Amino acid sequence: MAKKSKPGTLSVYLYIPNIIGYLRVLMNCYAFYICHSNKELFSVLYFVSFVCDALDGWFARRFNQVSTFGAVLDMVTDRISTACLLVILSQVYWPGLFFLSLLALDIASHWLQMYSTFLAGKSSHKDVKDSSSWLFRLYYGNRMFMGYCCVACELLYITLFLLAKSQNENMNEVLLNAAKKNIILAFLLAVLFLGWGIKQIVNIIQLKTAADACVEYDINRKHEQ
């Protein structure tokens, strides 16, 4: 039986989903470059980049081009993009510590989850079938549910950025005034906040679960020595 040819390093870098990842990086760099001079274009570019996050996964599965490098590139791009937007929001709204806390939670939970995945020998950080949390399993096990939470979170941040007129604004006042002026926007904000809230709960669960996995790995390794 003929052996399958081993893909070269360059070919992996040139996988279609990875090329989409590079384009996302360039798109985000330009988007943040113009974020204060052109809020509308920034929002469009940022959201298009976010949508491409789903496309690269589809291409990876469709053309059998799943790679560890692609998964890491995807997660790093997501985390840095969201982190940059949260930093901007921390400068626009008061108190800024709220958004910086969200940034820390997002990065810490995903980094620990990725690291614990490799320690457990799993192929994907989304493999949480052994988790005791039904919400955690639902989040990573149902693409529609996870998609809703992720889209709601990013759209909420974009909406907050568009609603801000100056720096050091009170977020609660801005949201209340916007909701009073437009009932459709009020409903949209409620839907977005629901998805955002669920995602933050999942991040907390993910942080605790991944930390427990790392501690358990250390305990088992010491026991084997």
**How confident is the model over 58-87, as pLDDT tens digits?**
888 888 898 888 888 988 999 999 999 999
Fold of the CATH domain 13-224: Four Helix Bundle (Hemerythrin (Met), subunit A) (1.20.120)
With b for 16 or more beta-carbon neighbours within 10 A and e for fewer, the 33-70 pattern comes to eebeeeeeebbebbeebbebbeebbebbeeeebebeeb
Question: With 0-12 CB in 10 A as exposed, 13-18 as middle and 19+ as buried, what is 31?
Answer: buried
- Each domain of the chain, given as residue ranges in start order, spans 13-224
Cα separation of 150 and 54, whole Å?
11
Cα separation of 192 and 190, whole Å?
5
| Phi, psi of 35, rounded to the nearest 5 degrees | -55, -35
Cα separation of 214 and 201, whole Å?
20
53 flagged as catalytic? no
Please, what is the average pLDDT of the chain?
91
Check 53, 56, 74, 78 and give the catalytic one: 78
pLDDT single digits (tens) 101-138: 999 999 999 999 988 988 888 877 788 988 889 999 99
